[in-house]
Chains A and B, each alone.
Chain A
């Protein structure tokens, strides 16, 4: 069972510190952790550091107690699968080939047939099999985001990191995408960390919430704990009320103070 832990992580862009001594005790397999916080609070940088795209100035990232800093990018993607924020791509590639490339780029194991079967399975799971022969450049922003999701899931890795995977999706697809991520985390025993802006989505789909502000983790707990903590409203600079809806889900009501 893979656990992900972060110890005293500090990251700077030039001389500007972006993460300051971030420590996160074990994130467990089979769980989804929502990474929340206002813009520029360090969410993306934390994900990029774990994924190996940004070298930390200090601190360690531990997988099962072992630091993973020394790995090459290709090795890292076998441990940690990261899907950055998706901007519209003009790639002249079919959806099938785009997901195939995601499996192959870091050197996928298995013959052509095995990999193609895996691509098919993930297209079905992300419900975009009907788009398989469409060109990426012809897809809508939301459809491209689903392709990115499939690219992130096609190659099995114990840790999954997603940066705002639902930002361009409509309501139904938001729910489907997060339910899928949760399902993958649960059934395949992965550690999933998802940066989100929508607190209600986080409340509904996350087991745990990390709230970041100015490069530090300021709250860590279940959605209920974090959203009822006054620090949450302060962090976003809003008046927050967390209520349970008639269906039993946690609803977040925010207003300007």
Chain B
């Protein structure tokens, strides 16, 4: 065998070993999310042992009604929503960074959180809804509609102006300032009670969780994952810039617009259910990038897992910090995530290989 041929054989074996190590990393991420999820179930007021929790989960009829209510109506929805929404934010951030070719982008870069805030505030202050029959879900529906609508505005503007990452970011920033001003206006006009509601909504909370919301969020996440998975090679090719991606047969502008819709759906759903949770969508993908690089086959799922782990850990800390008080998760995410993130940045030089 010639030297070149044996080097090529080495290349394939090396790639195989790498895939194995990365799969192991994904599995470890999944286990970490499971452990955090179970810990989240076990954390909170009510003095339940893990035995009580497992008993209530497996046979709700046999468990004491108090245990069943705590587990099924309070802890399980919160813990599940943390995992699903964390995964949504991690994935949305990863793809926003990919299509904007900017590692500082997050799911809310294009003004989506401000728009959601305006939507929620309109509901709180005026009681007006975009859907007439929204009823008690008024705030959620409005937040979703405004966030998704904002993304579609960016979509339409960039479509008219040639969908480069630059025009997309510029329109997004213009939109963010507009919505921030509207948000301030609504807060200025709001009564004291309404103002408190707005501020708390913006801080983010998992306590509005319900099994219905979890079902919707999980459905959106599943569909988005599928659509993104089908575009995994094209999205990876985007890392070489628009021209080289195009030379590989990927239409960068079309892909950017398609993925913007998917990301908007993920982010708008997440923000409407839990409020504004920063950091997860920015740092989740960074953790994934540090560990496996930017090949979408590993980058996207690991971004999702690290987002889920981060929000799950946040949920635990928000309950455990001081007994009887549940802190808003928007405050906790950064406090929990930053030390972990910094330790990763300081110790790791390059992705697993």
Contact = CB atoms under 8 A, between A and B. Distances in A.
B246 A53 contact: yes
B353 A133 contact: yes
Interface residues of A, number: 47
Given A129-B7, A132-B11, A132-B14, A94 B249 contact: no
A55 B18 CA distance: 41
B293 A76 contact: no
Contacts of B243: 53, 84
Nearest to B353: A133
Nearest to A86: B244
B351 interface: yes
A18 interface: no
Contact of A130 (B7, B9, B240, B295): B7
Interface of A is mostly: helix
Interface residues of B, number: 34
Nearest to A76: B249
B341 interface: no
Most buried by B among A84, A117, A125: A84
Contacts of A106: 248-250
Interface in B5-19: 5, 7-12, 14-15, 18
Contact of A105 (B12, B14, B250, B351): B250
Nearest to B244: A84
Contact of A73 (B8, B244, B251, B295): B251
B12 A116 contact: yes
B303 to A, nearest CB: 13
By Cβ-Cβ distance, the 7 closest A-B pairs, closest first, are A106-B249, A132-B11, A77-B249, A129-B7, A124-B8, A92-B293, A91-B239
Interface of A: 51, 53, 72-74, 76-78, 81-84, 86-87, 89, 91-94, 96-98, 100-102, 104-107, 116-117, 119-121, 123-125, 127, 129-130, 132-133, 135, 138, 148, 151-152
Given A96-B18, A116-B15, A135-B351, 9 more contacts: A89-B239, A94-B295, A96-B15, A106-B250, A120-B12, A124-B8, A132-B15, A151-B244, A151-B248
